[in-house]
Structure 1
């Protein structure tokens, strides 16, 4: 497996989750009408049900992947994901759809745990941040592609076909990884699956100050993304009256986010994971607070051109934060990478999803709740980072030089050859 194929495969596994969320965005109103859900804010639970299943199951997959290896856990999760997607096609009620969306999330959780663990098996520090930035760049294609794919499916079918599309995505991921992904966890590094070892592994994760507080910081910051996803249809169609074509603007924002992730992959080794992520987080807070103040002064919403410019600038800052926070949280956890990835992913997804859902339910016909949520959640994230760093913010770079990335690529090629 080449370095490029390795990054592309990890990106697909991560993007599977974004697709399962974003493809449903243009269909929320249609699903509500078809299944008799009159309250608009309640329709957002279609997203939340998936996120909760996705977050909760990672705690299980992490220790399993540290015991049985990455491949077996990945294949089991993809099988559950595919089964849940097929069942969702035939859901006869809103509650049944929520249940199968939860099952989808449970299956997809394996892809998040395994993808992060495989990268951590091969890389660390700035190398890992650089690889994950490239993964995130491809991952961010999904918010460009998935909502428009969902809108296209709705033109020729109905919301049930969306789950069929997710089934196809799952099958592609299963076949490709089965054929090409080598096992990255050596037998001598596997941890016994006993109660004492599980307690030890979880204890290592939650008691390490850097890992624990960067995990919480990333969870709070991911609430921003989930809040935007939950409210995006209502903001674009109701506040700004854009109709079904809103997915194009959603995609435009995602393009800039992908661009910032690519820029991060180039800049992180020069500037350092700490400085670039902490600086971007401060810029995010400043832009969100500025936008919030303007929205309040203008009766609840800025004019759409100004909204779009400020929102793009704000979400560009987003692209410089999560991958670096992820690398910083995982840095001390190489010997329990599966469990560490599980705790990190569960906290990020469940706490972030619930915080984002809470902000989404505050929607009142303006953009004020969304921007207030952005400002508050990002500020909380900054406080948690300060605790992790004991107040020593913006330290100088101390990671490996850029040559290490090329060496890492060679290790992946070599591993692929052995596989």
Structure 2
């Protein structure tokens, strides 16, 4: 299958290439988080950060700013197209990565990380709109699962790449490497990606129109439970990312093995997304994801038990954590596709507001979970259970209490 742009656009791109490209674009945000996790201690020490959990702010500030930034690019992508917003975000990513590589003060680092996160939010918002331009329903869920499998594979190995850089150079070279990856991605987008926005769907840059479209996308009952449910589940993962170096490296005493252990648990998300891409069209995104969240709750209950009665056992923590992350492969892409289903004509605005709540809300949840770290796995385990149970309640609200149904695509909401 070939994806074509608007009629005047002569570029074409195959589905497989589109999957890999979109995955790379979305993975750049994960790379700038996970790739520098092994360097957190070096960065905090060299730049004069205080001790304790303050090093987590290097991650948390980026996530918070990225979430806030998601409010903006969707409206511009609905007006000017997808390509210009992607190229702007990639340029900002490159410039700020190089500035961070030169920074000499911890608080300046946090400011630059915040600005980078805000200006590169298009890398989270626009790819989803591109996929929605071309697909809907379970087919969109299938493609998003393939995208997730590819882009998750990148941050899975990112800590190991960061660790490899540290063997030969300082932490600053990690950000130089990230800037080079962004330049390569920009060249790829420039030469190969067609414009996927239908000219008939272009929206005006008008505050009332933008606000209306976002409001429509936000308050839709069929979507909001999935958006907020995803926010809580991703927030639990962000809590893991924020505290992973302390939890795995220090509490469980894995030290230099941290990148390998972290990557091994996250690798389950790759496997589960690939499996989801195979089964979602057969069973439906709702049936798969509703089953997944129920199993997630059960595993989280076991995680809570293990945190109290096997508190120092890595042999209990790792399989359970890998299972939790693996289950997200049956939740994230499916929840996101269901939430975007009604919004073909305002995909950019819908992606912006939904991504804002998912990412900013998840960043706040993740910050709270990370800062609750007390030298044990107990706060994190309890957070997993609370977030998963709350996600099930929210999804039940959107489904009016009737889970596991396979529905025909709902009527599209017009902007």
**TM-score exceeds 0.5:** yes
Q: Deviations over 1:291-338 (max 9, x none)?
A: 21122123xx15212222222222211111010000011001111100
CA distance in 1 between partners of 2:56 and 2:126 (Å): 28
Cα separation, 2, equivalents of 1:149 and 1:107: 25
Instruction: Return the match for 2:382 from 352, 372, 383.
Output: 372
Unaligned 5+ runs, structure 1: 401-419
User: How many residue pairs were aligned?
Assistant: 398
1:294, 1:221 → 2: CA distance?
20
Shift of 1:38: 3.0
Matched residue, 1:308: 318
| TM-score normalized with structure 1 length | 0.92
Q: Which has the higher helix share?
A: 1
Q: State the alpha-carbon separation in 2 of the partners of residues 239 and 398 from structure 1.
A: 48
Q: Which residue number corresponds to residue 261 of structure 2?
A: 249
CA contact (8 A) 1:16 1:108 kept: no
The aligned counterpart of 1:348 is: 358
> Alpha-carbon deviation of 1:85?
0.8
1:127, CA displacement in angstroms? 0.7
- Displacement after TM superposition at 1:248 (Å): 0.5
Q: Which residue of 1 aligns with 2:9?
A: none
* Map of 1:325 onto structure 2: 335
The offset of 1:226, in angstroms, is: 0.2
Alpha-carbon offset, residue 195 of structure 1: 2.4
Counterpart of 2:281 in structure 1 is 269
Which aligned pairs between 1:214-233 and structure 2 lie closer than 5 A? 214-233=226-245
Correspondence 1:57-136 to 2 at 5 A: 57-136=69-148
1:296 maps to: 308
- Report SS of the residue matched to 2:263: helix
Q: Is the 8 A contact 1:82 1:104 kept in 2?
A: no
Contact 1:22 1:142 in 2 (8 A): no
Using the TM superposition, give the Cα deviation of residue 137 of structure 1 relative to its aligned residue in structure 2, in angstroms: 0.2
Distance 2:205 2:75 in 1: 7
* Equivalent residue number for residue 47 of structure 2: 35
Contact 1:89 1:160 in 2 (8 A): yes
- Show structure 2 runs of 5+ residues with no match: 1-12, 411-415
Q: Report the equivalent of 2:56.
A: 44
Q: Does the 8 Å CA contact 1:214/1:384 hold for their aligned counterparts?
A: yes
Q: Tell me, yes or no, if the aligned pair for 2:86 and 2:126 is still in contact at 8 Å.
A: yes
Q: Is 2:27–2:155's contact at 8 Å kept on the other side of the alignment?
A: no
1:16 aligns with one of 3, 9, 28: 28
- The whole-number CA distance in structure 1 between the counterparts of 2:131 and 2:146 is 12
**Structure 2 residue 141 is matched with structure 1 residue 141:** no
Structure 1, residues 349-390: CA drift from partner, whole Å, max 9, x if none?
A: 100011011000011111111111111111111111111111
How far does residue 397 in structure 1 lie from its aligned partner after superposition? 5.7
CA–CA distance in structure 2, aligned partners of residues 305 and 52 of structure 1: 33
Give the Å deviation of 1:230: 0.6
Equivalent pair of 1:211/1:329 in contact (CA under 8 Å): yes
